Amino acid sequence: MFHRRVLFVALAATLVSGCASMSSPKSVADTIAATPSLSTLNGLIVKAGLTPTLQGSGPFTVFAPTNDAFKAVPAKTMDALAKDPAMLRNVLTYHVLAGKVMSGDVKNGPVKTVNGASVALAKAGDFVTVEESMVQTANIVATNGVIHTVDRVMIPPVKK
């Protein structure tokens, strides 16, 4: 009986501490870091030195490519991004808007990204697209913005 109580108390303490950490608010960067399906994106954000920015006051809207989206990018492109921090930052900031845009607030048309280029947003019913990427999971709320997972990595147009 004593062992069952000890086990129950230990289990209850684990559940309470786990729930407390799950409910504590997190920044966009911390939310991405805590999401297993965004681990590739998180690694690239760290490599590009964007973590402090995405932990900042924001607000930000991030169209976050999933690990599967990054698997579809040619290895040659991923290698080039790994070797060129400026290019990597350019690609990553192409997925970020200044401001918080929930999926219900999307208006069809171009919007400017943090890297200065525009992307085409579109909404049809419950479906939201950004360029050719489909939003898979919308409205992941963070303390400083919102994250929408997408099924493709968007490559910005070459700056002239």
- Residue 70 pLDDT more than 90? yes
Domain holding 44, by residue range, is 25-150
Per-residue pLDDT tens digits for 72-91: 999 999 999 989 999 999 99
3 within a domain of the structure (yes/no): no
101 within a domain of the structure (yes/no): yes
Q: Cα–Cα–Cα angle for 145, 148, 154, nearest 5°?
A: 110
Q: The domain that contains 134 carries what CATH number?
A: 2.30.180.10
160 within a domain of the structure (yes/no): no
132 within a domain of the structure (yes/no): yes
155 within a domain of the structure (yes/no): no
7 within a domain of the structure (yes/no): no
Length of the chain in residues, anyone? 160
Between CA 68 and CA 64 the distance in angstroms is 11
13 within a domain of the structure (yes/no): no
Contact 122, 134 (CB under 8 A): no
- Residue 21 pLDDT more than 60? no
List % helix, strand, coil for the chain (3-state, nearest 5). 45, 25, 30
Of all residues in the chain, the percent with pLDDT exceeding 70 is 84
Residue 142 Cα distances to 25, 29, 135, angstroms: 7, 9, 17
143 within a domain of the structure (yes/no): yes
